[in-house]
Amino acid sequence: MRINTGIKGLDEMLKGGLIPQRTYLVKGGAGSGKTIFSIQFLLEGAKKGENVIYVTLEEPADEVIENMQFLDLNITNGNFHIIDASPTGDLSIFSDMFFENLIPDVQGLKSALESKLEAIRPTRVVIDPITMLEIASKSEVEYRREILHLCRLLRKFNVTTLITSQKTEESSEDFIVSGVIELLTYDVKGKVIRGIRIKKMRGSDFDSTVRPYKIKKGGIEVYWTESLFE
């Protein structure tokens, strides 16, 4: 069984889509489209009547909604639940999540998220970006342990999860998740060229070729029959 990502051309690279009830990492630099990717993934579930949750740890929810509207992506329907846990956003859901220095309380996050999982029973969850939790960790070992605990919590509720990361190099998240998708950007003679690569996908065959993609009205589109370097 596979689930569609909602991103045109990507499911072909994934040989049918994602294996459900697993956690996947979407990584890329600033402006590569990680949030857009995540929103499209959630909208694919929401339009089928599934409950979905988007947890924003960095960008305020109202800004996310506004940015998505610019791309004709409406995330205000009843099945699409947004949890604003950003430092400068509306913290009504996680009112005690942040200390005075805006460092997130990971235990508070997991407790509040578990409560929402119990109430909403979503099929898809996005945490954007997971690297915000690294700020709250005292060491790399502790950070990895917290991600593992979070993954176990999400697996307990049988959800398919995307976590995003701004790190472009290999890091702790790569080893913990079931799959890694990279959004790559190249500056060629002053023009930004975008490429998507599936780096890892446990239990599934996949296309590892770097394929071009564009961000346009309606979101990301992958040109899965083309190669960026041929």
Domain boundaries, the chain: 18-182
Both structure tokens of 179:
């799959």
pLDDT per residue as tens digits for the range 4-16: 999 999 999 999 9
- Beta bridge partners, 160, equal 124
Residue type present at position 30: A
Cis ω before 129 (30° cut-off from 0): yes
Question: Which residue's structure tokens are 């589109």?
Answer: 221
The Cα–Cα gap between 178 and 69 comes to 31
Average pLDDT over every residue of 139-160: 87
As a whole number of angstroms, the distance between CA 203 and CA 22 comes to 11
The mean predicted confidence, pLDDT, of the chain is 87
Which range (32-41, 58-67, 139-148, 194-203) has the least confidence? 139-148
Structure tokens at 36: 């857009």
Whether the pLDDT of residue 73 is over 70: the answer is: yes
Pairing between β-strand 191-201 and β-strand 179-188 as defined by DSSP bridges:
antiparallel
The residue count for the chain: 230
pLDDT at 99: 42
**168 pLDDT higher than 90:** no
Place of tokens 């489209």: 33
Q: What is the pLDDT of residue 230?
A: 67
Q: Which pLDDT belongs to residue 95?
A: 47
CATH classification number, 18-182, choose in 3.30.230.10, 3.40.50.300, 1.20.1560.10, 3.90.79.10 = 3.40.50.300
